[in-house]
Structure 1
Amino acid sequence: MLLVLNRTYFPDGTQGILEWNGTLVCYTIELPWLENQRRISCVPEGEYVLQRRHSPKFKWHLHLLHVPARDLILIHPANDAKTELLGCIAPVTKHIGIGKGIYSRLAMEKLRDLVFPLLASNLEVKIIIQSNPSTPLRMTS
């Protein structure tokens, strides 16, 4: 399975659209692109393998493996990138501002329902993160 995250970059945050086979799964929010600096930048563009992960804070969520120069990059619920994310990706049901969304837990549940059965069957699930091809690139640097 291959998920595709198409992003639009802004100085104050990163907005995304997460799709599978051309169908919308959810929207995403992240921190702005700040040269892949730990804990303050969004994830670099690229292709990553996803893995299930559980923690007391986020319950069941996803872990992106082998992110260059970074570790423990997750997809977990959050509605405000600046106050709730440290370089991770948050699924949201709707964007309400740059780096802000609503109903993140519902979006995470939808994503888990799609991905977890495949991972439980030992199928590989990957995510491609790229600039949104239909909008101009708005990176800060």
Structure 2
Amino acid sequence: MKMSTTGDLYIDGHYCCKTLELPWKDNQRSVSCIPEGTYKVKSRYSTKFGEHLLVEGVPDRSYILFHPANDVKELEGCIAPVEKLTSSTTGIFSQNAFQQILFVVLQAKKEGKRVKLIIEG
């Protein structure tokens, strides 16, 4: 049984980092990765995660976040960027990878640009 979904994150066509998500479980809330598609990404603040990124427009789901996590066990339907995968369910330097993405998104926001996430199989 697959324990996670991993991917490569590109920003404007340039490789940025790896990603960790839960395995595909029919897009079920809190236990599944998100389906292929194009989604809006915007910055958000919470006391739990501080400044982080919110993925909007996922069918039948809400509050899907990009936030630091080095183990898929720390995720509840969210996406964790990591600099390097150490296994199929863990990675390292998630905080560093996340800060890179957050910087790009906040800069785009300052410039009045929209940010989108495209997930392809």
Q: CA RMSD in A?
A: 1.2
1:127 and 2:114 correspond: no
Q: CA deviation at 1:26?
A: 1.1
Residue identity opposite 1:78 in structure 2: A
Is structure 2 residue 75 aligned with structure 1 residue 85? yes
| Partner residue of 1:117 out of 89, 98, 107 | 107
Q: Which amino acid aligns with 2:69?
A: A
SS of corresponding position for 2:69: coil
Distance in 1 (alpha carbons) for counterparts of 2:74 and 2:62: 17
SS in 2 for 1:71: coil
**Aligned mate of 1:46, from 37, 45, 49:** 37
SS in 1 for 2:61: coil
The answer to whether the 8 Å contact 1:48/1:67 transfers is yes
Give the drift of 1:119.
Answer: 1.3
1:13 and 2:17 matched: no
Aligned to 1:69, what secondary structure does the other structure show? coil
Q: Is 1:36 matched with 2:18?
A: no
Distance 1:99 1:16 in 2: 12
Amino acid at match of 1:12: M
Q: Which residue of 2 aligns with 1:7?
A: none
Higher relative contact order, structure no. (Cα contacts within 8 Å, ≥ 6 residues apart):
1
Decide whether the 8 Å contact of 2:42 with 2:105 is kept in 1.
no
Cα offsets for 1:101-123 (capped at 9, x unmatched): 11100100111112211112321
Letter in 2 for 1:121: E
**Any runs of at least 4 consecutive aligned residues in structure 1 with deviations exceeding 6 A, and if so which?**
none
SS of 2:86's equivalent in the other structure is strand
Structure 1 vs Structure 2: percent identity of aligned residues? 44
Instruction: Indicate the residue corresponding to 1:76 in structure 2.
Output: 67
1:67-122 deviations in Å (ceiling 9; x for gaps): 100010111110111x2100000000100111211110010011111221111232
Unaligned runs of 5+ in 2: none
